[in-house]
Structure 1
Amino acid sequence: MKISKICLYTVPLLLVAGIAYGNFKGGSEPTYVTEAMSAVSNKMSYDYGITTCKANQYQVDKWKISCMSANTPTALSYSVLPAEKAPYSVPTPFYLIADNDVARKAAGEGLLSFMMIDIRAEADQVKQLATN
């Protein structure tokens, strides 16, 4: 009888603790990447509707995000670096480089135009910036 009462109280407590740990632990992305995803998603949502962004680590300390909505036929793709790696001062903890034509075009439109997205950087420059 005592064992069943202990299980009755312990199991729900462990379940709640597990869910809380999973929610607050977060992903494996660094803070600057999650903030970049949030900022791009928020700005895109104004012009394109509900937007989702996903981060991918393609090398050590090198991240890309892709964001899309139901109103964008192609995902907007960006390279994300910490602000310290930017070739100029940025007011955010991240530095974004547009990787595809859709992202370059969107960088000059709507609220995304306020984000200081680099549309001129080439792939070689991104590699050089990331190594510095």
Structure 2
Amino acid sequence: MKIRNIFLYAVPLLLVAGIAYGNFIGGSEPSYVLDAMDSVSNKMSYDHGLTKCKSVQSDNGKWSISCRSSNTPVALIFSVLPPEKAPHDVATPFYLIADNDVAKKSSREGLLSFLMIDINQEADQVKQLTTN
């Protein structure tokens, strides 16, 4: 009987502690970065198979994501900005800039083309403005 009471009190406490730990450890990315990772991963998965994206924050606070699948030998790398930093209206809660050649090429193909990913020089100028 005593063990049952301990079990009844311990399980809910462990559950609450686990949820709190997950909230404090994870979730350091802003919501627009999480949305970008989900969208790119979903769209890439259709053309390239199962895809995983990870986010990286640089020292100056800028965010980028790197997405890779088993069918892509090189990761696709994108800079992620909030939509208000875009030089034009975007329909997504994020603004993406293709950073490497593979990302630029893939941004024009398949479902990724629907994300309106910037691949031109204008995008490089926006990145420079956001760092200043």
- TM-score, normalised relative to structure 1: 0.87
Q: Which structure 1 residue ranges, 4+ long, deviate > 6 Å from structure 2?
A: none
Q: For 2:71 and 2:15, locate their aligned partners in 1 and report how far apart those are by CA, in whole Å.
A: 37
1:86 and 2:86 aligned: yes
Deviation at 1:50, TM superposition (A): 0.6
Q: For 2:130 and 2:87, locate their aligned partners in 1 and report how far apart those are by CA, in whole Å.
A: 8
Q: Give the letter aligned to residue 89 of structure 2.
A: S
In the other structure, the counterpart of 2:51 is 51
| Consecutive unaligned residues in structure 1, runs of 5 or more | none
In the other structure, the counterpart of 2:18 is 19
Deviation at 1:129, TM superposition (A): 3.4
Q: Which moved more, 1:18-27 or 1:41-50?
A: 18-27
In the other structure, the counterpart of 2:100 is 100
Q: For 2:22 and 2:102, locate their aligned partners in 1 and report how far apart those are by CA, in whole Å.
A: 33
Q: Is the Cα contact below 8 Å between 2:86 and 2:126 reproduced in 1?
A: no
1:112 and 2:112 aligned: yes
**Aligned length, in residue pairs:** 130
Q: For 2:80 and 2:117, locate their aligned partners in 1 and report how far apart those are by CA, in whole Å.
A: 10
Deviation at 1:17, TM superposition (A): 1.3
Q: Which moved more, 1:84-93 or 1:19-28?
A: 19-28
Q: Give the letter aligned to residue 85 of structure 1.
A: K
Q: For 1:12 and 1:46, locate their aligned partners in 2 and report how far apart those are by CA, in whole Å.
A: 40
Deviation at 1:5, TM superposition (A): 5.2
Calculate percent identity across the aligned residue pairs.
53
Q: For 1:70 and 1:19, locate their aligned partners in 2 and report how far apart those are by CA, in whole Å.
A: 32
